[in-house]
Amino acid sequence: MLDDAEIHALFQGAPKTTAFRKLRKRLVRHVREAIEAYGMVDPDAPRARWLVCLSGGKDSYTLLAVLHELQWRGLLPVDLLACNLDQGQPGFPATVLPKFLERMGVPHRIEYQDTYSIVVDKVPAGRTYCALCSRLRRGNLYRIAREEGCSAVVLGHHRDDILETFFMNLFHGGRLATMPPKLVNEEGDLFLYRPLAHVSEADCDAFSRAMNYPIIPCDLCGSQDGLQRQQVKAILDGWEARSPGRRQIMFRALTNARPSHLLDSKLFDFAGLEIGTKPAEFE
């Protein structure tokens, strides 16, 4: 399937090693699995257009490359529009992504909105900027998607982001929830997709390094140390170091929920449970 006789520009110059070819195949397979498993493409609907959000980090480069690879090979029947939202952080290298996308021949839109100043003004000293920054970014991306006639906003969150969010909600939010691979926005007019849902952060990192993409770090706003996500990530790193493969086992658990073995009476009718009956999930 991944013969190099024809290849999208985003993969040109890729290493010829066996290890990289295996990595590339694994990325393509995992993204295809997620797209199919969560119904991101409706074969009976008109051809969709996706707004692919590009921050300049390793994850979004991986997302962009794999989606274009699938489209290039006729395996993803949608139109793709890359989008970078320049949020006005001091020192942001504004020319890096436009030059990269033009060189790769990727259709794109670059949008400038100074949300950084709003975040700095609204967030008290010592608090993290991430939550408000994310909300403002998401609102602008939804607006851009509507303006561009896109039906979905596509984000680069991977398996590890999903796991970290689950444990942040568990430890700090008092709920069992995480980033879903597919949802509808509050206004009900756009999908939000996460095609990297089955992809590990390590694979994103290895891929972007091997391709030597121009990475833009997410620390231009002076992100504070000790964020809850960093703490959870450290816990998961420790578990993974002691028991390799633990992350994948935990991720698999998120796809195998049993409401009758939890405690949420809104999800399972404990009061109506009778002797001689079998819960539907075991039928």
Is 1 inside a domain boundary? no
The model's pLDDT over 232-267, given as tens digits with 9 standing for 90+, comes to 999 999 999 999 999 999 999 999 999 999 999 999
Alpha-carbon distance of 76 to 32, in angstroms, equals 9
Lookup result for tokens 């939804």:
142
The model's pLDDT over 6-23, given as tens digits with 9 standing for 90+, comes to 578 898 889 999 999 999
pTM across the whole model: 0.90
What CATH number is given to the structural domain containing 24? 3.40.50.620
- Average pLDDT taken over every residue of the chain: 90
The model's pLDDT over 148-179, given as tens digits with 9 standing for 90+, comes to 999 999 999 999 999 999 999 999 899 999 99
Output the DSSP codes for 34-102.
HHHHTT-S-TTSPPEEEEEE--SSHHHHHHHHHHHHHHHTTS--EEEEEEEEE---TT--TTHHHHHHH
Is 253 inside a domain boundary? no
Domain that holds residue 211: 11-242
Higher pLDDT, 272 or 238: 238
Is 215 inside a domain boundary? yes
Long-range contacts of 130-135 (CB under 8 A, 24+ apart): 130/223, 130/227, 130/229, 133/87, 133/221
| 195-224 per-residue burial string, b: 16 or more CB within 10 A, e: under 16 | bbbbbbbebbebbbebbebebbeeeebeee
Q: Structural domain tally of the chain?
A: 1
Q: Is 105 left (phi over 0), alpha (psi -120 to 50) or beta?
A: left
Strands (E) located in the chain: 48-53, 78-86, 108-112, 152-154, 182-184, 191-193
Is 282 inside a domain boundary? no
Structure tokens at 122: 């609204």
Is 269 inside a domain boundary? no
Is 107 inside a domain boundary? yes
Is 193 inside a domain boundary? yes
Is 129 inside a domain boundary? yes
